């Protein structure tokens, strides 16, 4: 059986203990934990706090998403590249401490709105080489998330992902179906053996809408992966509360997620 979960960022305004309680109440089995949750980020160097969070997160299966806000492993600025690598190492250590088996990272990108050059790819390859080596030492699986389709992004299509995976046999995939959009079936067919984690959401005017409101139907994509290829890892909802015209209450968010869980269960049953 797959493990249905959700990103902690959908409940970013609550403390970790409350987020865990919400997940347990909804019957979720997995959490993709974003350490850039505001409360956690401010206290991440407090060992007592980290241990208390570890105790709470032990009630669920956990995957970790490496920090990515303001970071770029392909940056022309060597200081940004260095910080990106150090934050990834920190997140790998955090994964080990929280007993998470895998961590999701983002691909690099050209800082300007232009097609990436060999320099951006070389910087990204150097980051991957060092990150994979460190993850292997810590016995953590490193999963690369496919990027949204933008001119300056690396690994937003099947060809670019193939090019990267060919170089790094110990690298796996977190497939974000909203990023893949109409190409999600091609990603499944080409990489089903490499997919170890999933981000589930729909596409409407923007990415990360509820799956039930998506203008792109992902039923075939999810059925193919789960029922044809036997995927048994996490299916994590990654929903964006900014798509709504008002701030959502906790109950409203829980109701949205409950509806999404039921919708997903019908697709993959």
Residues in the chain, pLDDT under 50:
none
**CATH number of the domain that residue 29 is part of:** 3.20.20.150
Which tokens belong to 267?
Answer: 């697709």
Q: State the Cα–Cα distance between residues 136 and 160, nearest whole angstrom.
A: 23
Q: State the Cα–Cα distance between residues 137 and 145, nearest whole angstrom.
A: 21
CB-neighbour burial class of residue 217 (10 A; exposed 0-12, middle 13-18, buried 19+): exposed
Can you give the pLDDT at residue 207?
Answer: 87
Q: State the Cα–Cα distance between residues 260 and 264, nearest whole angstrom.
A: 6
- The total domain count for the chain is 1
The string of pLDDT tens digits covering residues 30-61 is 999 999 999 999 999 999 999 999 999 999 99
**Residues 201/210, Cβ–Cβ less than 8 Å:** yes
Can you give the pLDDT at residue 226?
Answer: 96
Which tokens belong to 249?
Answer: 């209450």
The string of pLDDT tens digits covering residues 82-104 is 999 999 999 999 999 999 999 99
Q: What single DSSP character describes residue 45?
A: T
Can you give the pLDDT at residue 205?
Answer: 78
Can you give the pLDDT at residue 219?
Answer: 95
Domain encompassing residue 226:
3-268
Exposure string for 143-159, b = 16+ CB within 10 A, e = fewer: bbbbbeeeebbbbbbbe
CA atoms within 13 A on the CB side of 229: 19
**Residues 84/75, Cβ–Cβ less than 8 Å:** yes
How far, in whole angstroms, is CA 249 from its chain's centroid? 24
């Amino acid at each position: 059986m797959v493990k249905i979960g959700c990103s902690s960022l959908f409940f970013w305004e609550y403390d970790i203990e409350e987020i865990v309680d919400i997940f347990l109440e909804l019957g979720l089995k997995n959490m993709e934990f974003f350490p850039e949750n505001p409360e956690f980020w401010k206290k991440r160097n407090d060992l007592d706090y980290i241990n208390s969070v570890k105790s709470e997160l032990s009630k669920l299966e956990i995957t970790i998403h490496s920090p990515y806000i303001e970071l770029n492993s392909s940056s022309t600025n060597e200081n940004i590249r260095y910080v990106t690598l150090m934050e990834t190492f920190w997140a790998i250590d955090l994964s080990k401490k929280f007993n998470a088996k895998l961590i999701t990272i983002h691909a690099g990108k050209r800082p300007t709105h232009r097609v990436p050059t060999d320099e951006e790819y070389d910087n990204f390859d150097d980051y991957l080489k060092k990150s994979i080596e460190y993850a292997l030492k810590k016995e953590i699986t490193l999963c690369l998330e496919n990027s949204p389709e933008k001119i300056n992004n690396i690994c937003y299509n099947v060809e670019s992902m193939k090019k990267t995976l060919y170089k790094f046999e110990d690298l796996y995939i977190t497939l974000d179906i909203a990023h893949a959009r109409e190409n999600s079936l091609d990603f499944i067919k080409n990489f089903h053996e490499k997919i170890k984690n999933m981000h589930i959401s729909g596409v409407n005017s923007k990415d990360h809408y509820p799956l039930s409101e998506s203008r792109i139907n992902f039923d075939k994509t999810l059925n193919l992966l789960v029922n044809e290829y036997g995927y048994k890892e996490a299916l994590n909802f990654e929903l964006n509360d900014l798509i709504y015209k008002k701030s959502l209450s906790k109950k409203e968010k829980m109701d949205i997620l409950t509806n999404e869980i039921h919708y997903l269960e019908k697709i993959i049953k």
